[in-house]
Structures are given as structure tokens and as C-alpha cells.
Amino acid sequence: TTETAKQKLLSTLALTKKLFLVDLTRASMFRSLPRTLLSRRLFARRALSTTNPVATFKTSMGTFKAEIFEDQMPITSANFIDLAETGFYEGLHFHRVIPSFMLQFGCPNSKDPKSQMCGTGGPEAGSKFQSGDKTIVREGGTIPDEFEAKISNMPGTLSMANTGRPNSGGSQFFINTAPNKYLDFFDPSTPSKHPVFGKVIEGMETVSAIESVPTAYDNPIEPVKMIKITIETSE
């Protein structure tokens, strides 16, 4: 009958709408990378396949891993790896946390998480590290700017902090938690120049948890400590 046909049509339309909403949900899950289980699995697959070193960050709030772009950023990567392997970062705290922006870390003065000197320190002046067959000297406790690989400051990337002056990066870096393309050294719209040297490939939920802690003047009220950073290589 006509009424039966009409009911079948309405049922079909309802089912189609339901399937469409399911597809939208799946698309939304994919767009929300890297904060979903799906993204963590994709990140984990990449971690298993990379030939670059992988850094494991063990913090008081959990663990996350990052690929270090040694193939594209050899000097900056070697500086970070040297500091990690010599224990420089152990016992330091995230001293600057700004939601929907970034988490900053790596100042030796942050061993006291409430020190007013947090954010001002770096490696020992004159200290050295190896980058391939080159010996790099940290003149004044800083390293040369490495403006080579055009990798954008996107969520999950590790980027060098600096004072805004040339060659002023040292031990401090930040993890982007939002698209911060205006920080790219190759973006002419701003004077900011922060080269990316790595990206979180596992444990982004830990990064998100740190991003969400209560702060006072951008400093976590409950200190977030770096227990240890270990480096794994494919060799």
C-alpha cells in the first residue's frame, strides 16, 4: 500500500541520517588528532617505523615519547640528546604552561619550581657536544640557530625557545599544544623564529594533562617534574 511504502521510505531516510551522523563522528575523531585513541595508535605505528632517535619523557604526571628529527635538524637534535643523556634535564620542572598554546621546559633554574629565575637559564657556557663529526661549543651557553628544515610549529611538536636574538637557544624548548605557525622561522608575518626539532609520537594524553594543570602566572601551582629523559636509537 501507499502507506506501507511511505513508512519504508521514512525508515530508509532515518537509517541514512543515522549512518551519516556516525560518519561525522568518525571524521570528528580523526580531525581531533592527536588527542584520541586512534591518533595514539597512529603515532605508535610511526614510532615503531622511525629511524630517528626516540626520547622517552618520564614525568611526575606520566610518560610520553617524541621522535627527534636528527635527520633534518642534526645540531639542535644533538644538543638535546647530549643534555638528556648527561642527566641535565633530570629533576627540572615545567616552568611555563599556557593552555591552547604550549608547555615550556628545560631551564636549570627550575629545579626550584618557584624560583623567579625560571626561564632564564641554560647549559654551561663553553660546554661541548658532538653533531656527527663536528664538535659544537655552546658559546655563552647557547647553540647556533638551525634554520634549515621548514617544519611548522603544530600541535605536539618540540620547538626551541630563545630570547628573540640570533643564536640564543640553549636547553629550553616547548611543546606546542595548538597550531602556532606564526612562530615558524620561515613565516615572514612575525619576527619569531623557533625551529622545530621533534614531535610527540606517543602519550599525547600526558601532554594534555600537563597543559590542563592549574597555574599562577603561567607556572603550575602543583609542580610538574621531569624524572628522566632516555634516548633510544635504531642502532
Show the cell assigned to 104.
615550556
Asked if residues 113 and 223 have their Cβ atoms less than 8 Å apart, the reply is yes
Residue 206 included in any domain:
yes
Total count of domains within the chain: 1
Cα–Cα nearest to 103, from 92, 116, 87, 88: 92
Give the active site residues. 96, 101, 104, 162, 174, 183, 194
Q: Tell me: pLDDT of 101 over 70.
A: yes
Tens-digit pLDDT profile for residues 104-162: 999 999 999 999 999 999 999 999 999 999 999 999 999 999 999 999 999 999 999 99
- Mean pLDDT value of segment 71-82: 98
Residue 172 included in any domain:
yes
How confident is residue 4, by pLDDT bands cut at 50, 70 and 90?
low
Residue 22 included in any domain:
no
How confident is residue 48, by pLDDT bands cut at 50, 70 and 90?
very low
Pick 159 or 15 by higher pLDDT.
159
- Reported as type and span, the H/E element at residue 216 is strand 215-216
- Reported as type and span, the H/E element at residue 11 is helix 2-31
Q: How does the average pLDDT of the chain come out, rounded?
A: 86
How confident is residue 2, by pLDDT bands cut at 50, 70 and 90?
low
55: left (phi over 0), alpha (psi -120 to 50) or beta: beta
Cα–Cα nearest to 57, from 42, 71, 45, 67: 67
Q: Which domain holds residue 188?
A: 54-232
DSSP for 68-94 reads E-TTT-HHHHHHHHHHHHTTTTTT-B-
Show the cell assigned to 13.
531516510
Residue 196 included in any domain:
yes
Residue 160 included in any domain:
yes
Q: What sign does the dihedral 95-213-230-43 (CA atoms) show?
A: negative
Q: Residue 118's domain is classified under what CATH number?
A: 2.40.100.10
Residue 17 included in any domain:
no
Cα–Cα nearest to 198, from 146, 132, 138, 125: 146
Cα–Cα nearest to 195, from 43, 68, 110: 68
Pick 23 or 157 by higher pLDDT.
157
Question: Cell numbers 608575518 correspond to what residue?
Answer: 189
Residue 205 included in any domain:
yes
Residue 33 included in any domain:
no
Q: Tell me: pLDDT of 34 over 50.
A: no
Cα–Cα nearest to 97, from 194, 192, 212: 212
Q: How far is it, in rounded angstroms, from Cα 124 to Cα 127?
A: 6
Residues 6+ apart with CB under 8 A from 123: 83, 88, 108, 138, 141, 170, 171
- Mean pLDDT value of segment 53-68: 98
Question: Cell numbers 621522535 correspond to what residue?
Answer: 67
Q: Tell me: pLDDT of 184 over 70.
A: yes
